[in-house]
Copies of this chain bind each other. A is one copy, B any other.
C-alpha cells in the first residue's frame, strides 16, 4: 500500500515448533526421494520421531497439507502420504493471496486475456515436437465431441488451454497460466455453457491450434486474443456483477 517506510520489517518469525516440524518433514521427504503417493510414517510414529506433541505435529501436517505437499486420510491404512504439487493446488494458494489483496474477478479475467495470447505466440514460435502431439490429441478430442455431454465438453475445452500453456515452453508461464485457469474455472463453472457458443469455441480453438502448428506466432496471438475477448464478453453478459466480485479462496 503506502510503504512509506523503507521496509524495515524485521519479520522475526519466532520459529514456532509447528513450522519447524513442517520443514523437517519436508526435508525428510526430499532426502528420501519419495514420490507422490508414497506412504509416510503415521501420526503416532511421527510423534515419536520428532518428539513433539500431537497438537504441534498436527499444525505441521496442516501447513504441508494446505500446500499440497502431503495428504492425510483417516481410517485403516490411512495416514499421511506424499502429495502431488499441481497447478490446481497452486491456484488455490494464489487465490488465498488474491482474496487478501481484494483482487477483483475482472482483474483475473484481464490477466487471462493478456497471458493466453502471449503463451499462444510462444507456442507457435517454438513448436516443440513432443508437445505438438499433445495439441493434436486435444484437437482430436475437439472433433469427436459432438455427442458428448456438457461435462466432457468443458473438460476438453479447459484442457486445450492447459496444452497451450505447456506449449509455451516456459515452466513459469505455464504454471501461472494454468493456475489462473484453475481459479477461473473454480468460480465460473461455465461461461460458455450456452450450447449456441459451443461450435464457435471449437472453431476458435481449432484456428488457434492451426496457427500454432504453422508456426505463425503473430496469428496465433491474434486469434487467441480474439477468443479470450469473446469469452470475457460472454462472461460479462452471463455473469453480471462478477467483474467486481473479490476473488475468493475455496
Report the separation of the CA atoms of residues A111 and B172 in the bound assembly, to the nearest whole angstrom: 6
A14 located at the interface, meaning its Cβ lies under 8 Å from any Cβ of chain B in the complex = yes
A6 contacts B by Cβ under 8 Å: yes
Given A7-B155, A155-B7, A159-B6, A100 and B29 contact (CB-CB distance below 8 Å): yes
Chain B, residue nearest A61 (CB):
B59
Q: Identify which of residues 57-109 in chain A touch chain B, using a CB-to-CB cut-off of 8 Å.
A: 58-59, 62-63, 65-67, 69, 73-74, 84-85, 87-90, 93-94, 96-104, 107-108
State the oligomeric state as a number of copies. 2
Report if A23 contacts B (CB, 8 A): yes
- Contact, CB under 8 Å: B111 / A170: yes
A residues contacting the other copy or chain, number (CB 8 A): 68
Within 8 Å CB of A35, what residues of B? 1
A49 within 8 A of B: no
The verdict on A114 contacting chain B, using a C-beta distance below 8 Å, is yes
Q: A236 contacts the other chain (Cβ, under 8 Å)?
A: no
Cα–Cα, bound, A104→B89 (Å): 21
A195 at interface by CB-CB < 8 Å:
no
Shortest distance from the beta carbon of A219 to any chain B beta carbon, whole Å:
19
Chain A's interface: helix, strand, loop or mixed, by majority?
helix
CB <8 Å contact, A97 and B59: no
Q: Does A180 reach chain B (CB closer than 8 Å)?
A: yes
Decide: B58 and A26 in contact? CB cutoff 8 A: no
- Cβ of A18 < 8 Å from any Cβ of B? yes
Q: Are B11 and A88 in contact (CB-based, < 8 A)?
A: yes
Q: List 29 A-B contacts (CB under 8 A).
A: A1-B36, A3-B134, A3-B162, A7-B155, A14-B74, A19-B62, A26-B99, A27-B248, A30-B102, A30-B246, A55-B55, A55-B58, A62-B62, A62-B63, A66-B66, A67-B93, A69-B96, A69-B97, A69-B100, A85-B96, A98-B175, A101-B171, A103-B172, A108-B172, A110-B172, A111-B173, A111-B176, A118-B118, A176-B176
Task: Knowing that A104-B171, A108-B172 touch, tell me 6 more A-B residue pairs with CB under 8 angstroms.
Answer: A55-B55, A67-B97, A85-B97, A94-B175, A107-B170, A114-B118
Partner-B contacts on A (CB < 8 A): 1, 3, 6-7, 11, 14, 16, 18-19, 22-23, 26-27, 29-30, 35-36, 54-55, 58-59, 62-63, 65-67, 69, 73-74, 84-85, 87-90, 93-94, 96-104, 107-108, 110-111, 114, 118, 134, 155, 159, 162, 170-176, 180, 246, 248-250
